């Protein structure tokens, strides 16, 4: 090997190492499990055995709204828009607060709130929302599921920061972020790091209610990450169930219910596997909406997703769900569609559940 070749190789190896160090520095490396703090800012009541509990889950699309076709909204990744205006971010923040006040759920499970992202002017969107509804929710917890100081994508070219958040009228005494399965770091070090945000609410007389909030990866040809994420969630709730802990799970699971794939136009069917990994959960636990509701004659009432795609004229599928322990009893549920279709690409799902009665 000539000296020139050796020197060239040394330079290339050095540059590669420097690049690797730079990428590692710019990206996020969450712990597998992280205990969370700052849960309540004042006095909050405890849950009571047998009480009714209203819960909402809503992916608020970083408050961007429906006036855009973002680059990731079209199958070819060529949507013309890259960010919402400050005016639209402010308007949709007020709209989200309006809907939450109108529904007044006891628990609000939110996904896709930005914090420190260039595309949303580095806002802490949970803090902005909290300021508008602090009188309703003395307790909340949050956890990132996407974070990087700089993403070298031509559509981003800056920081990203996106969170899960759970707001509660009732005491939260413990909370944690659990890392969900992801593709190997080297495949895309700037990718979201999906997580399960778990909050524990004490129940008078003993015991706790576990509230789980998540936002899963979209299905992708050639990998089973979404299925692995659901397996991890199933393992978690199976353990809670075996310990006698009542629980509920909500979020954007990015999967279709039984039979709904075939009701999509052929061009959109390809995005979803024929065998939905959601069956891992519905095979064992109650799902809201259930498969009969989500794929029956009134299925349109349960659509929770309205893509920012001009080819789609309205909500056309169900991606957001609530699951719960059999110890909880469903009373009623619905998707609020009538005045929310222009706020985000997902619609809020609400349900009322009865907690287990007092032990004899």
Q: Are residues 19 and 154 in the same domain?
A: no
Angstrom distance (rounded) from CA 258 to CA 317: 12
Sole residue written with tokens 């949507």: 79
Determine, yes or no, domain membership for 165.
yes
- Strand 52-59's sheet: what is its strand order? 139-151, 158-168, 107-114, 52-59, 349-354, 329-335
Determine, yes or no, domain membership for 49.
yes
Domain containing 138 equals: 33-354
Q: What's the confidence (pLDDT) of residue 184?
A: 87
Q: Are residues 302 and 211 in the same domain?
A: yes
Q: Are residues 3 and 61 in the same domain?
A: no
pLDDT over 90 (residue 292): yes
Q: Are residues 18 and 92 in the same domain?
A: no
Q: Are residues 19 and 101 in the same domain?
A: no
Q: What's the confidence (pLDDT) of residue 1?
A: 64
Confidence band of 274 (pLDDT split at 50, 70, 90): confident
SS3 59: strand
For 87-140, what is each residue's pLDDT tens digit? 999 999 999 999 999 999 999 999 999 999 999 999 999 999 999 999 999 999
Determine, yes or no, domain membership for 195.
yes
Angstrom distance (rounded) from CA 294 to CA 255: 12
Confidence band of 268 (pLDDT split at 50, 70, 90): confident
Q: What's the confidence (pLDDT) of residue 39?
A: 84
Domains held by the chain: number:
2
Determine, yes or no, domain membership for 290.
yes
Q: What's the confidence (pLDDT) of residue 192?
A: 95
Determine, yes or no, domain membership for 126.
yes
Determine, yes or no, domain membership for 271.
yes
The residue ranking higher by pLDDT, 299 or 222, is: 299
Q: Are residues 286 and 326 in the same domain?
A: yes
Angstrom distance (rounded) from CA 163 to CA 214: 10
What average pLDDT does the segment 195-209 reach? 96
Q: Are residues 12 and 88 in the same domain?
A: no
The predicted model scores a pTM of 0.95
Q: Are residues 349 and 233 in the same domain?
A: yes
CATH of the domain at 308: 3.60.10.10
Confidence band of 271 (pLDDT split at 50, 70, 90): confident
Determine, yes or no, domain membership for 284.
yes
Q: Are residues 26 and 39 in the same domain?
A: no
Q: Are residues 167 and 133 in the same domain?
A: yes
The residue ranking higher by pLDDT, 49 or 78, is: 49
Residues 6+ apart with CB under 8 A from 88: 63, 64, 65, 67
Counting residues of the chain whose pLDDT is more than 90, the rounded percentage is 79
Determine, yes or no, domain membership for 360.
no
Q: Are residues 194 and 92 in the same domain?
A: yes
Q: Are residues 23 and 171 in the same domain?
A: no
Residues 6+ apart with CB under 8 A from 196: 177, 178, 180, 212, 213, 214, 232, 233, 236
């Amino acid at each position: 090997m000539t000296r020139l070749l050796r020197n060239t190789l040394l330079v290339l190896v050095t540059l590669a190492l420097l690049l690797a160090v730079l990428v590692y520095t710019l990206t996020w490396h969450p712990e597998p499990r992280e205990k969370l703090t700052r849960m309540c800012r004042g006095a909050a009541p405890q849950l009571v055995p047998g009480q009714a509990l209203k819960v909402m889950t809503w992916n608020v699309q970083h408050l961007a709204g429906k006036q855009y076709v973002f680059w990731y909204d079209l199958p070819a990744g060529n949507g013309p828009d890259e960010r919402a205006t400050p005016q639209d971010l402010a308007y949709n923040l007020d709209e989200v607060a309006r809907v939450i006040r109108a529904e007044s759920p006891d628990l609000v499970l939110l996904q896709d709130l930005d914090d420190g992202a260039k595309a949303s002017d580095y806002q802490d969107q949970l803090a902005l929302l909290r300021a508008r509804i602090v009188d309703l929710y003395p307790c909340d917890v949050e956890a990132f599921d996407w974070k990087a100081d700089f993403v070298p994508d031509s559509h981003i070219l800056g920081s990203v920061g996106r969170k899960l958040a759970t707001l509660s009228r009732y005491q939260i005494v413990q909370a944690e972020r659990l890392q969900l399965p992801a593709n190997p770091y080297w495949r895309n070090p700037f990718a979201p790091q999906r997580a399960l945000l778990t909050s524990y609410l004490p129940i008078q007389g003993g015991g706790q209610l576990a509230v789980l909030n998540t936002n899963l990866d979209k299905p992708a040809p050639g990998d089973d990450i979404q299925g692995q994420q659901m397996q991890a969630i199933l393992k978690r709730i199976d353990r809670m169930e075996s310990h006698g802990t009542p629980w509920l799970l909500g979020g954007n699971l990015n999967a279709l219910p039984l039979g709904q794939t075939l009701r999509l136009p052929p061009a959109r069917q390809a995005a979803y596997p024929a065998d939905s990994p959601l069956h891992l959960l519905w095979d064992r636990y109650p799902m809201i909406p259930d498969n009969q509701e989500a794929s029956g004659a009134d299925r349109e009432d349960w659509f929770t997703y309205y893509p920012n795609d001009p080819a789609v004229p309205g909500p056309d599928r169900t991606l957001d769900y609530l699951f719960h322990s059999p110890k909880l009893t469903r009373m009623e549920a619905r998707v609020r569609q009538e005045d929310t279709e222009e706020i985000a690409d997902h619609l809020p799902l609400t349900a009322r559940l009865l907690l287990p009665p007092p032990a004899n």
